[in-house]
Chains A and B, each alone.
Chain A
Amino acid sequence: MKLALAAFPSAHLEKSIRRLWGLALGLNADKCSLWLPSASDVGNLRVPSGISHIWAGPETASAANCEAGFVANCEAGFATNCGGFAIKCAIWMEHLAKMEGVDIVLAESGAASSESAIRLSYRLGFSAVSGLVDVSLFNGMPCAKMRAASSHLDLFRPIEKNQVLIARPSKIYSGNFDSFAPIRILPMPDVEADFIEERILPRSKASSLEDAQLLLVGGRGIKGPAAFKRLQEIAGKLGGAAGLTRAAAINGWGPMELVVGQSGIAASPKACVVFGASGAAAFMAGVEDSERLIAVNNDPDAPIFSKSDYGIIADAPSAIERLEEILSDADKGCG
């Protein structure tokens, strides 16, 4: 079985590859190539020894160690009437998949990468299997493990040929990457944009939540925007980040992009404190990979307690207020 890993990072290329490689190991591929349509600098990229070669996009065309004779030509007829970045990548990958006879593509999920991967699946006539968190053996068969029914269920679907797997892995491969793989270049197809113009505005950094070592999350029980502001200040002092549940964000207590849970960010911090959330499965999907999970809720029967390492029965906004006071006093003490 021929496998291709597709990573679309804007930064942290190695981390992306590690996420994918951890899953690829479970697939026992005969051959595995790595596709990097948008990586800007792959010249010195170290990869696991199981990667046979790398296909890179146009920005790396000048890479010094490009494998001789392997600058493939983009065929004519690529141009279509629609498509932005995602469709360019999809066409680029389609070309590679056909050229190399790839059976399974394993891509990383993300706004643009998921769209590319889904478009790729359509172009190839493959099935899109998305939301894969792990590869598990089920009846001896490697299966894509996914969440279903708002994270109440794990769903296992056999991994077969002609699938594009779109992964949101929770684990990261930590072994050594000590090989260099030959790099081959395929220029991006020239595709007209499918919009008239695009403006880009910055927004608060949701990505800092995903990478935070300490995460503080406010649910409906924090009762208002004031407590969320405090959470952000506390998180700042402790070197962490603050997010909120979808319910709290809908109430307008904090921005939507800081929503933690199935419909937002899935974090895996060393420690996570959840204030005033009941523990609905769809929310827990965002915090359950925390190494240490601490719940603060005034309802002793809140289901979140049984899903946490530590439980504290308390009124969330008051506890947050006191916490901030303690930390301010500590600051003053140090100053």
Chain B
Amino acid sequence: MESSALVQALAELIGEDQVSSDPAVLRECSRDYIGFRQYERGDGKFWEPKAACVAWPRNSVEVSSLLAFLNANGADAAPRTGGSCVSLGSEPVEGGVIVDGSRMNELIELNEKDLFVTASCGVSLEYLENYLNNRGWTTGHFPQSLPMAQIGGLVATRSIGQFSTLYGGIEDMVLGLEAVLPDGRIIKIKNVPRRSAGPDLRQIFIGSEGAIGFITQVSLKIFRYAPENRWMGAFGIDTMHKGLDALREIMSAGWHPAVLRLHDPVEMERDFGNIAPEGNCILLVIAEGPKALAAATGEGVKEILKGFGAADLGARPVQRWLIHRNDVCGRLDHFDYYKMGAVADTCEISATWSKIGEIYDAVLERLPQESESLVVVSGHSSHSYTTGTNIYFSFGAMVDKAENARPIYMNIVRVIMEETLKRGGSIAHHHGSGKYRTQWMPQEHGSSYILLEKIKEALDPNRIMNKGVLLKIEE
């Protein structure tokens, strides 16, 4: 369908004010914060695909008629909400339609008896969290994108928050949801504490990255908000391996601190003011919940760390981190790295305890050899489980010209992906695979990749939804 006809038709469908093909608006709604895009924009270049228009449905019914129309006409749809994506996951397809749920921002119900809150996809997490905090509740979900992200996108990307070791990832928080399938059908998954009635259908949508439907409404669990009970402590520990062993010990002992982070020596120096002994890693701990439990958790963790010879650095590094942990959102597209002539970003993977340290070592060894212009590489573990943890790599490399930003960037990502896959780890811990990691998805899933194919085929047979995520595009 031709662009202008498409715009016209959508305007008739959901209203003129709800559709725009203004180039400035399109650029704003196509913005992705992956490192090389930020570099390119810093250089005044825009290589994002150009959508035909952006459409802002106001409710599920409008989403339904929109998707049904696009489906019938074989037009591409790129769903988005808050726009904090860093993985090319919400960039549109050339000539396609950006379906932006951010105007569906109704907070539908706070159910204090059954401990959940229901919100439309465009409700901002920060707004929701503040709303809940004022009433003594919390979602327990604190991703770094908190100041920008909205509920729909958080669920679609399988987001995780900084307090995950206690509250879990978004997959543990979603009680029920509503979504619209590409053919326009609105489906609802009800709110029940647990059930044994077939596979958990919520999980089809949690992490679906907009590839099989549009999440319009979500019910999230809520928890008591009692920050005054927090126990905080920071520790210095000699080596990354010792630190990872300590995390394992804490998790296997049965402690559930909310925050358990281990930053390598590069990050300790750069981000924590060199406060630990020279060359040390820094470990941050926050325990929360009922006062007695938080205190006991904190002391229990401290005791274990003592056994690892960790240096007690007090609570202040954690307090400072708590205040400034999301500052990066305010610096997106400020081109700090571009001005240094560098492309920079993060890349998060996960693996079991027996492999994670090896991956960290291998990446740190290979990258300086294979990326000539690499300036920095560092890593931290920020989400631990009884079985393993994640590593969040940070990297930066010098770029000579904008067209090289992407190849230089992807060369670094390749090394991280390869070392992770080699050891059976996962190539994406919490940003979603997006479009930049799709090429590794068959290896990521192995023989189960076919399930993704089949689900896509069943729910989006015309393949209009967010082309390029999850599944490789057949040539």
Contacts and interface: CB of A to CB of B under 8 A. Distances in A.
A247 B334 CA distance: 9
Contact of A299 (B330, B333, B334): B330
A220 interface: yes
B83 to A, nearest CB: 13
A112 interface: no
A250 interface: yes
B334 A220 contact: yes
Contacts of A251: 334-335, 339
A65 B145 CA distance: 72
A299 B339 CA distance: 25
Nearest to B329: A299
Interface string A241-265: 0000001001100000000000000
Which of B333, B334, B339 is the most central at the interface, judged by chain A CB atoms within 10 Å of its CB? Answer: B334
Contacts, number: 10
Contacts of B95: none
Contacts of A223: 333
B147 interface: yes
Nearest to A278: B330
Interface string A289-306: 000000000010000000
A250 B330 contact: no
Interface in A191-206: none
Nearest to A251: B335
A278 B147 CA distance: 14
Contacts of B339: 250-251
A86 B343 CA distance: 45
Listed from nearest, the 7 A-B pairs whose CB atoms lie closest are A220-B334, A251-B335, A278-B330, A299-B330, A251-B334, A299-B147, A250-B339
B340 to A, nearest CB: 12
Contacts of B335: 251
Interface of B: 147, 330, 333-335, 339
Interface in A5-53: none
Given A223-B333, A251-B335, 8 more contacts: A220-B334, A247-B334, A250-B339, A251-B334, A251-B339, A278-B330, A299-B147, A299-B330
A250 B331 CA distance: 14
Nearest to B334: A220
B116 to A, nearest CB: 26
Q: Is the interface of B mostly helix, strand, loop or mixed?
A: loop
Interface of A: 220, 223, 247, 250-251, 278, 299
A247 B331 CA distance: 11
B219 to A, nearest CB: 26
A24 to B, nearest CB: 43
Contacts of A278: 330
The interface residues of chain A, by DSSP majority, are classed as: loop
A29 B335 CA distance: 53
Nearest to A221: B330
A251 B335 CA distance: 8
B447 to A, nearest CB: 47
Nearest to B42: A251
A32 to B, nearest CB: 47
10 contacts: A220-B334, A223-B333, A247-B334, A250-B339, A251-B334, A251-B335, A251-B339, A278-B330, A299-B147, A299-B330
A299 B330 CA distance: 9
Nearest to B333: A223
Contacts of A247: 334
A247 B335 CA distance: 11
A265 B96 CA distance: 48
Contacts of B330: 278, 299
A278 B327 CA distance: 11
A85 to B, nearest CB: 36
A322 to B, nearest CB: 14
A223 to B, nearest CB: 8
A220 B339 CA distance: 14
Contacts of B333: 223
A220 B327 CA distance: 14
Nearest to A302: B330
A56 B335 CA distance: 51
A220 B147 CA distance: 17
A220 B330 CA distance: 9
Contacts of B334: 220, 247, 251
A16 B357 CA distance: 66
B102 to A, nearest CB: 14
B30 to A, nearest CB: 16
A251 B336 CA distance: 9
Contacts of A250: 339
Nearest to A250: B339
A220 B331 CA distance: 9
A297 to B, nearest CB: 10
A288 B330 CA distance: 23
B127 to A, nearest CB: 9
A62 B283 CA distance: 75
A43 B190 CA distance: 90
Nearest to B338: A251
Nearest to A220: B334
A140 to B, nearest CB: 36
A301 to B, nearest CB: 8
A169 B339 CA distance: 36
Nearest to B327: A278
A284 to B, nearest CB: 17
A246 to B, nearest CB: 13
B46 to A, nearest CB: 13
B329 to A, nearest CB: 9
B49 to A, nearest CB: 22
A250 B335 CA distance: 10
Contacts of A220: 334
A299 B333 CA distance: 16
B270 to A, nearest CB: 20
A247 B330 CA distance: 13
A179 B123 CA distance: 69
A146 B54 CA distance: 53
B144 to A, nearest CB: 15
A251 B41 CA distance: 13
A252 B147 CA distance: 26
A252 to B, nearest CB: 9
A299 B331 CA distance: 13
A53 to B, nearest CB: 54
A278 B215 CA distance: 34
A82 to B, nearest CB: 37
A247 B333 CA distance: 13
A250 B330 CA distance: 16
Contacts of B147: 299
B245 to A, nearest CB: 39
A332 B404 CA distance: 48
A223 B41 CA distance: 12
A278 B41 CA distance: 23
B54 to A, nearest CB: 16
A169 to B, nearest CB: 34
